[in-house]
Amino acid sequence: MRPRVGVLALQGDVREHLAALQEAGAEAVKVRRLAELETIDALVIPGGESTAMSHLLRELELLEPLRARLADGMPAYGSCAGMILLAREIVDAGAPGREATPLNGIDMSVRRNAFGRQVDSFEGDIPFEGLDSPVHAVFIRAPWVERIGDDVEVLGRADAHIVAVRQGRMLATSFHPEVTGDRRVHKLFVDMVTET
């Protein structure tokens, strides 16, 4: 049976993640409400602006229910802003009262916009642990991981910075695989969801 994987539909490449998940073997659905969150087996948190997404999670009363689902072991994958939100700690979280709010999914510290501003966005091929060849990674105002806990596995680096991690059934990348047509990262996540 195909897992039902939600894509948090507040901002970002929602359509692209839905398509990638479908191609990777999941039943992909949008998640904007608590009732939708309760029907899924796993969640993808796409890119966007982490402080705006945090605000919307609070406004839609999804923040604490999402934290609870993650704490209960729901698999999750975060790309770019999704990586930031899945962190336990966010370095430079934003202006007071408008900061990004960590969901405490992965034991890591993440720095927002670590590679620079929009004009510093770039692409490149990076080796990815567990995949047979490098992935083409698109970095857009991307974060990087500054600290990982003992149970966190590093899956990829760019310029010596950690840009892909896994902890249990949680996955995070600072880049956007949904825009490249390469479905291997999404397939890895779908396989993680169905692991017993």
Amino acid making up residue 57: L
> Any binding-site annotation on 112?
yes
Question: Of residues 89, 176, 186, 195, which has the active-site annotation?
Answer: 176
Rounded Cα distance, 184 and 132, in Å: 10
Residue 32 marked in a binding site: no
Widest distance between CA atoms in the chain: 45
The H-or-E segment that residue 17 falls in is helix 14-23
176 catalytically annotated: yes
Check whether 111 is labelled as a binding-site residue: no
Does the annotation place 157 within a ligand binding site? no
Per annotation, catalytic residue among 80, 89, 146, 161: 80
* 16 part of the active site: no
| 17 catalytically annotated | no
**Is 99 within any annotated ligand binding site?**
no
Q: Which amino acid is at 32?
A: R
With CA atoms as reference, report the closest residue to 97 among 58, 45, 146, 67.
Answer: 58
Q: Residue 90's beta-bridge partner residues?
A: 110
- 169 marked ligand binding residue: no
Active-site residue, selected from the candidate residues 16, 17, 55, 178: 178
- Residues comprising the binding site for L-glutamine? 48-50, 112, 140-141
- Residues comprising the binding site? 48-50, 112, 140-141
Question: Could you give the residue numbers annotated as active site?
Answer: 80, 176, 178
